[in-house]
Amino acid sequence: MPARDRGVPRRRGQWPPTSVLSVLHPVGPLPAAVYWRRRLLVLVLLLAVLGGAGWLGVSLLGGSDGDAAAAEATATTTTAQPPALDRVVPSLASVRTPTPPPTEAPEPAEPSAPEQEAGAPCGDDVVALEVRTPGSVPAGSQPVLELVVTNTSDVPCTRVLDEELQEIVLLDAAGTRLWGSNDCFPEQSDDTRTLAPGEQVVFPLTWGGLTSEPTCSAERVPVGPGQYVLRARLDTKTSPDAALEVT
């Protein structure tokens, strides 16, 4: 037997090296049961910590998956099921509102003519101007034309009827001016009259049947057969066209 087994006493605190046998069979100053209880307590605590950590991880993973599934189910239910109000009240798109009948736009009112003041100058709006013709005349003849001025207002008014303010012109079908009463024989007068309501003043004028232009310098020739119009003027007032046929 070696020398260390010959009853040589060991010093306190000196123990043989740790081995598997020493762990399984603890040796110390205390009874072996004490060491076993300590090891068992440490093992239980270690298992409890590991078990608690595992349970917590599983709970967290399971809770996240459950919340996601619940949220997805809620969203699916919300999408699939219409709101309670839509199930009770019909959609506005399905409700037909009656179309109002079209309303006719009111016709614009005709502008009223300014009221003529009695004794004041006759405005163009109350003066009617007209050219009277024979209707049809032979070519080369000298027909008599008439310029007619009428007061259409309900009160008497004054109007300057000077001869230099009066004119009758002849136009062909294309609107070309062929003759004017003031081209070659202009006349002047001082003629201001008070026209009673509805009164007419007639000024006769003889046309020589020839062409003319404002300077009366061009050669004057007879107007050939055809359809023509006559138009009168009294200062700033003009008349409607009157037809004249030359045969």
Measured CA to CA, the distance from residue 62 to residue 143 in angstroms comes to 121
Strand partners, 195: 157
Per CATH, the number for 124-246 is: 2.60.40.2360
**153-170 CB burial, b ≥16 within 10 A, e <16:** bebbbebebebebbbbbb
Where exactly are the structural domains of the chain?
20-76, 124-246
> What is the DSSP pairing of strand 237-238 with strand 157-160?
unpaired
Q: Which two tokens stand for residue 69?
A: 């599934």
pLDDT per residue rounded down to tens, the chain (247 residues): 444 444 444 454 444 555 545 555 555 667 777 777 777 888 888 888 887 777 776 666 655 555 655 556 555 555 555 555 555 555 555 556 667 666 776 676 665 556 889 999 999 999 999 999 999 999 999 999 999 999 999 999 999 999 999 999 999 999 999 999 999 988 899 999 999 999 999 999 999 999 999 999 999 999 999 999 999 999 999 999 999 999 9
- Helix, strand, coil % (nearest 5) of the chain? 30, 25, 45
